[in-house]
Amino acid sequence: MRLNPDGSRDLTFNVGTGVNGIINTLVLQTDGKIIAGGKFTTFNGVVSNHIVRLTTTGSRDAAFTGNIANSVADLAIQSNGSIIVGINNDGDSLVSNFIKRLTSTGAVDATFNVGGTGANGSVKTIFIQPDGKIIFGGEFTSYNTTNCSYTRITPNGLPDATFTNNAVYASPVNNIALQADGKILLSWGEYITITRAEGIRVARLNTNGTNDPALSPEMDRNLDHNISSVVVQPDGKLLIAESIPDKWSTHDRYGSFFGRKVLFSTRNFKINRYLANGARDQNFCISPLQKAANRTINSLNVQADGKVIIGGSFYNYNGTSSNYLARVNSDGSKDAGFNAGGTGPDSYIYTAALQADGKILVGGMFMKYNGMPDTFLIRLNINGSRDNSFHFAIPSSGGVKSLAIQPDGKIMVGGFAKVVRLNIDGSIDNSFNVTIYANYGVFFPYIETIAIQTDGKLIVGGSFSGISGPPGLTANLVRLNTNGSVDGSFSSSLNTNDVVKSGALQTDGKILIGGYIDSYLRRLNTDGSNDASFNPGGTGLDINLTPVNFVTSIVVQPDNKIMVAGNFRSYNNVTTNGILRLNADGTLDNVFNPGAGGVTQYATVVGLLNGGSKIYLAGSIT
């Protein structure tokens, strides 16, 4: 459709039934006609393979005879009216060049890139500079035999000898924008590691194609952080459309694909604004009425004074900058004295733990803290400054997801493909040694929860086929001896289809686990067998499947009552909406009643003050 300037529909523009598929791109000619490209084969019932031109009233322009064998990803119009077409690789072996030029009537222009082989893969984005040169990027690995996944060519299609580039990336270049000074912005739609900035999906090039190191985006490094569009404002600020997951989950009973686990996430779709140097513009889209964190809180730790350390994917708290980590006063206001003047971590926080001396261990996906290198794990002083006596240096492919502190001060660390024990100073404790195995169909195993028994043995849960033993025999939940070996006296009934996301120990040694397991919440005896005395005769949790999160947090109160948070709507057929408290036998504690409103989607984490006199809850809550 076409809209009037006030947003109302322009009734003079009528496309009829339109295309029989998807439109990926639209470009406007100087005469007001519109060229549409995408994945379709007809327009109003007339054959129009992947490209069509419309008149100013929306009807098909019969004078345009364009015909593209594969779907069209992007279009751009040259000053002479010729049309540059970026084509998708739809698996058609007959197509070998994925960028073409059409004449103004839609015929293929044989004078474009004479003698060249063109792009050998999908061309996703095209930008024509004011001087007529063409920059384009996509999934290709070469243009005219030169290795690249983005490049610049002359108006006639030949490689531009003044542009330096021979880089090939595994993830497609999906957007190109030009600054007023001629510098070039590139974005990648998916995770990419480049020498410019590891894990960052936006880069800036000088006019000759070399990297401009002055751009250092304050942007998430999450594995599924996608950039869909970049626009340069007249003042040089960058508007970037981003799609970011709040919380990854794996499950395969409600999302199986040939027996393999499928990743799910709830997502935030946002437009953020960045300054010319890549710093996030905190004055953009911040409402003075905004309360609490603007995105998910993954960790919540209550200090003895009632203040709360929160970490997650948020970057704003109560309208002020708070990059992934903050301390909140007991009245909910932000503690301005915590890490005062510091920029904090540069990416997600998954977990945190409080030491007996008040220092704070923080784990996640970050690579820096206050601008200094600190990979995945850091210890902070009480005021939020970096504790320089702690040095963590362990290779990990994806960050730290769980922490537990032993009575002797040593630190258990779980993450992607790693579970290690650290000495108090952060060095590796070599007396603890484990091997972790991945589940079938999962890129890497990961540890979600670690609980330390009174005898020093460790309950470890997550997504893995085995730890320190034959794969399959210790799937997703295991008890380890103090040296990391498997405790053979413990055996649960979990299998590789289950994922343990949360766990807690009762004072009698019994073990509570939650996540993607049968009944979603379970209590085990000390030997790992199911405890049949837990919630006798009850139906348990009724899980809400959208988004997929299930039980995310379990906390045992000193009186042995059990706080449970997650994505569910009822327990034993009583409405509970994401948060509940159980009696010691697993029956619902009806004294605890947060009401029917409460959690609109899910709760991620729960914390207690003074043994439960106050209860802190984080999640999607009204």
pLDDT in tens, 98-110: 999 999 999 999 9
Residue where a domain terminates, one of 513, 534, 555: 534
In this structure, the answer to whether residues 459 and 583 fall within a common structural domain is no
> What does DSSP say about strands 262-274 and 316-317: parallel, antiparallel, or unpaired?
unpaired
Mean pLDDT, residues 293-318: 84
In this structure, the answer to whether residues 297 and 274 fall within a common structural domain is no
pTM here?
A: 0.62
In this structure, the answer to whether residues 156 and 13 fall within a common structural domain is yes
Residues 6+ apart with CB under 8 A from 529: 491, 492, 493
Mean pLDDT, residues 531-535: 94
In this structure, the answer to whether residues 375 and 437 fall within a common structural domain is no
In this structure, the answer to whether residues 579 and 566 fall within a common structural domain is yes
Residue where a domain terminates, one of 534, 567, 591: 534
pLDDT tens readout for residues 3-19: 888 778 889 999 999 99
CATH number of the domain residue 100 falls in: 2.130.10.10
Give the model's pLDDT for residue 234.
76
Note every long-range contact of 431-437, with CB atoms under 8 Å and residues 24 or more positions apart, other chains counting. 431/483, 432/482, 432/483, 432/484, 433/468, 433/483, 433/484, 434/467, 434/468, 434/480, 434/484, 435/467, 435/468, 436/464, 436/466, 436/467, 436/468, 437/464, 437/465, 437/466, 437/467, 437/471
Residue 407 domain-assigned?
A: no
Mean pLDDT, residues 581-593: 89
pLDDT greater than 50 at residue 262: no
Residue 79 domain-assigned?
A: yes
Name the residue with higher pLDDT: 53 or 238.
Answer: 53
Residue 81 domain-assigned?
A: yes
If one counts the domains in the chain, the total is: 5
Give the model's pLDDT for residue 305.
85
Name the residue with higher pLDDT: 327 or 195.
Answer: 327
Burial zone of 178 (CB within 10 Å; 0-12 exposed, 13-18 middle, 19+ buried): middle
pLDDT greater than 80 at residue 469: no
153-167, 195-209, 487-501: least confident range: 195-209
Residue 414 domain-assigned?
A: no
Token representation of residue 229 = 């569009």
Residue 38, CB-side half-sphere exposure with 13 Å CA sphere = 18
pLDDT greater than 60 at residue 440: no
Secondary structure E strands in 192-294: 202-205, 226-232, 238-251, 262-274
Residue 61 domain-assigned?
A: yes
Residue 524 domain-assigned?
A: yes
In this structure, the answer to whether residues 175 and 267 fall within a common structural domain is yes
In this structure, the answer to whether residues 160 and 188 fall within a common structural domain is no
Give the model's pLDDT for residue 336.
92
Token representation of residue 72 = 């069209």
In this structure, the answer to whether residues 270 and 297 fall within a common structural domain is no
Confidence of residue 551 (pLDDT cuts 50, 70, 90): confident
Name the residue with higher pLDDT: 180 or 221.
Answer: 180
DSSP one-letter code for 293? B
In this structure, the answer to whether residues 515 and 553 fall within a common structural domain is no
Residue where a domain terminates, one of 467, 502, 534: 534
């902070």: which residue's tokens? 380
Domain of 156 in residue numbering reads as 1-168
72-86, 107-121, 232-246, 339-353: least confident range: 232-246
92-96, 225-229, 400-404: least confident range: 225-229
User: What is the overall mean pLDDT for the chain?
Assistant: 82
In this structure, the answer to whether residues 164 and 297 fall within a common structural domain is no
Mean pLDDT, residues 585-606: 69
Residue 296 domain-assigned?
A: yes
């998430």: which residue's tokens? 220
54-63, 126-135, 247-256, 461-470: least confident range: 247-256
């519109």: which residue's tokens? 34
In this structure, the answer to whether residues 139 and 159 fall within a common structural domain is yes
In this structure, the answer to whether residues 464 and 320 fall within a common structural domain is no
Name the residue with higher pLDDT: 93 or 511.
Answer: 511
pLDDT greater than 90 at residue 466: no
Percent helix, strand and coil across the chain, each rounded to 5? 0, 40, 60
Residues 6+ apart with CB under 8 A from 94: 69
Residue 415 domain-assigned?
A: no
- Which of these, 525, 512, 505, lies nearest to 455 by C-alpha position? 505
